[in-house]
């Protein structure tokens, strides 16, 4: 009996010890948890946001253009024309470009104030269309290259070869200039038009092949400035006047990659990365400076910027300083155009359209200290 009492006493002590041990462990765990700081993980959004209405790998945006009222852009894959305006910032569908609804146009369409220009898939036809048509189908004005000049050979074609080359250029005098490769040479073709109440809303008043140059293909760029046209061929650039007169720009001894404007001044960017400037609308040119590599230049908020692939930089022509801008969210998206509209900067790419506020655009990346591959600019000391 004494032995049983002793066993019960020992078991009771063990039970009490176990209970105290469990209580101590519970108190210790709660004390530990109370001393911990719970940190919430915040996932930051990229600086550049994708316009979700146009999301998808098939949304190839080849070009955009800004008027006082709207931002227009053209989606190649479905041949769709869209816009944003001051009232509604979300994309507004304008029209499908008939008869190319199921085609993917591979060349850069040109959008101007009231009218746009496209070319047919076989590169034998120019099509002009009004921008403000709220319809699923539009009726463009069709212009065959043989309408311009019946002497073109059967294998003549419009001279575009990639999505980076514009199909032509409009000036402010209702004229359109394009380039035809035919009869073993390059032909500058000038089209005059007016607006009327016909089905297309456009009336062609005259067409002419105003210049012929043997060889010299392809071309890189066409723009208009002060009603004149500037064509960047693979040899020397050319100036085309509104009356059709054409002259080679001999002050620039290199082929041009592009023309661009900044502060209402015209510049040319050459194949050896030099920048030339003109102060008299293209009559005379002089060397302005040297960049270290190829870029495409544009103006945002009164500042000169440039892009290459998915990178963006700001260039100061006065100091020569070049700063790389934040492109978080754009990585891997090849840029096709950049425009400022309604307090935002819109960037079109081959996989969608991105945007951010203008006041956030000039956010700079930290300098990593690496000199290799860094974009640099050196101004001509004689200017």
Max Cα–Cα distance, the chain, nearest Å: 130
How does pLDDT run across 54-86, given as a tens digit for each residue? 655 457 888 888 887 888 877 665 566 777 776
Give rounded-to-5 percent helix, strand, coil for the chain. Answer: 10, 45, 45
Which strands, in side-by-side order, build the sheet including 80-85?
61-66, 70-75, 80-85, 92-96
In this prediction, residue 77 carries a pLDDT of 57
Q: What is the pLDDT of residue 8?
A: 46
Backbone angles phi, psi at 345, to 5 degrees: -110, 125
Residue 195 predicted with pLDDT over 80: yes
Rg of the Cα atoms in the chain? 31
Q: What's the pLDDT score for residue 93? A: 63
pTM score, whole prediction: 0.84
Decide if pLDDT at 284 tops 60.
yes
Whole-number pLDDT of residue 12: 45
Q: Which tens digit of pLDDT belongs to each residue from 129-160?
A: 888 765 555 688 999 999 999 999 999 999 98
Q: What is the pLDDT of residue 236?
A: 85
- How are strands ordered across the β-sheet holding 228-233? 219-225, 228-233, 238-240, 246-248
**Model confidence over 23-48: pLDDT tens digits?**
655 565 555 556 655 556 667 889 99
How would you class 87 by CB atoms within 10 Å of its CB: exposed for 0-12, middle for 13-18, buried for 19 or more? exposed
Least Cα distance to 231 among 274, 185, 193, 177 occurs for 177
**pLDDT score at 3:** 44
Q: Which of 168-172, 187-191, 259-263, 370-374 comes out lowest in average pLDDT?
A: 370-374
> In angstroms, rounded to a whole number, what is the distance separating the alpha carbons of residues 280 and 284?
7
Task: Please give the share of the chain, as a percent, with pLDDT higher than 90.
Answer: 53
Cis ω before 99 (30° cut-off from 0): yes
The predicted structure's pLDDT at residue 90: 66
**Under a CB-based contact definition with an 8 Å cutoff, are residues 72 and 85 in contact?**
no
Which one is predicted more confidently, 97 or 279?
279
Tell me: pLDDT of 373 over 60: yes
CB 150 within 8 A of CB 97: no
Sequential DSSP letters for 150-170:
TTS-TT-EE---STTSBS-EE
Per-residue pLDDT at 5:
43
Q: Cβ of 60: how many Cβ atoms within 10 Å? A: 21
Q: Where is pLDDT greater, at 19 or 122?
A: 122
Query: What residues pair up with 275 in beta bridges, in sequence order?
Result: 269, 289
d(CA 125, CA 256): 26
The whole-number average pLDDT for the span 363-378 is 83
CA 129, CA 118: separation in Å to the nearest integer?
Answer: 8
Higher pLDDT, 39 or 183: 183
What pLDDT does 103 receive? 47
Q: Which of 39-53, 105-119, 159-173, 308-322 has the lowest mean pLDDT?
A: 39-53
Question: pLDDT grade, residue 162 (50/70/90)?
Answer: confident
* DSSP single-letter state for residue 321: -
- pLDDT band of 169, cuts 50, 70, 90: very high
Gap between the Cα atoms of 130 and 206, Å rounded: 18
Q: Which residue has the higher pLDDT, 102 or 159?
A: 159
Q: What is the pLDDT of residue 29?
A: 52
Q: What whole-number distance in Å separates Cα of residue 370 and Cα of residue 171?
A: 43
User: Domain limits of the chain?
Assistant: 142-246, 249-325+369-383
Identify the CA nearest to 303 among candidates 260, 357, 349, 362. 362
Residue in the structure block whose two tokens are 């996932």? 43
- Percent residues over pLDDT 70 in the chain: 76
Q: How confident is the model at residue 299 (pLDDT cuts 50, 70, 90)?
A: very high
Residue 91 or 200, more confident: 200
């Amino acid at each position: 009996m004494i032995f049983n009492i002793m066993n019960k006493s020992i078991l009771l002590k063990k039970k009490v010890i176990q209970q105290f041990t469990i209580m101590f462990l519970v108190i210790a765990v709660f004390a530990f948890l109370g001393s911990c700081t719970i940190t919430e993980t915040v996932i930051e959004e990229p600086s550049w946001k994708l316009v979700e209405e146009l999301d998808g790998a098939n949304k190839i945006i080849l070009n955009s253009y800004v008027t006082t009222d709207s931002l227009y852009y053209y989606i190649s894959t479905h041949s769709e024309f869209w816009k944003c305006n001051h009232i509604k910032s979300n994309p507004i569908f304008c029209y499908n470009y008939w008869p190319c609804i199921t085609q993917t146009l591979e060349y850069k369409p040109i959008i101007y104030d009231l009218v746009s220009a496209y070319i047919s898939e076989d590169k034998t036809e120019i099509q002009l269309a009004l921008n403000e048509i709220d319809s699923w189908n539009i009726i463009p004005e069709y212009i065959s290259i043989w309408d311009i000049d019946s002497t073109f050979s059967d294998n003549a074609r419009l001279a575009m070869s990639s999505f980076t080359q514009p199909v032509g250029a409009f000036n402010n005098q209702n004229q359109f200039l394009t380039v035809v490769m035919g009869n073993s040479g390059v032909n500058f073709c000038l089209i005059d038009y007016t607006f009327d109440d016909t089905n297309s809303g456009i009336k062609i008043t005259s067409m002419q092949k105003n210049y012929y140059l043997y060889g010299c293909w392809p071309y890189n760029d066409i723009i208009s400035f002060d009603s004149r046209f500037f064509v960047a061929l693979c040899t020397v650039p050319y100036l085309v006047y509104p009356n059709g007169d054409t002259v080679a720009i001999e002050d620039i001894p290199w082929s041009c990659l592009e023309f661009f404007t900044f502060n209402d001044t015209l510049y040319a960017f050459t194949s050896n990365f030099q920048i030339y400037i003109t102060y008299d609308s293209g009559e005379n040119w002089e060397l302005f400076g040297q960049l270290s590599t190829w870029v495409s230049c544009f103006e945002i908020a009164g500042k000169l910027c440039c892009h290459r692939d998915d990178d963006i930089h700001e260039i100061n022509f006065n100091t020569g300083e070049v700063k790389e801008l934040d492109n978080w969210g754009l990585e891997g998206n090849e840029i096709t155009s950049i425009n400022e509209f309604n307090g935002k900067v819109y960037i079109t790419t081959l996989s969608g359209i991105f945007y951010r506020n203008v006041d956030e655009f000039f956010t700079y990346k930290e300098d990593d200290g690496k000199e290799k591959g860094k974009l640099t600019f050196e101004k001509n000391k004689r200017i």
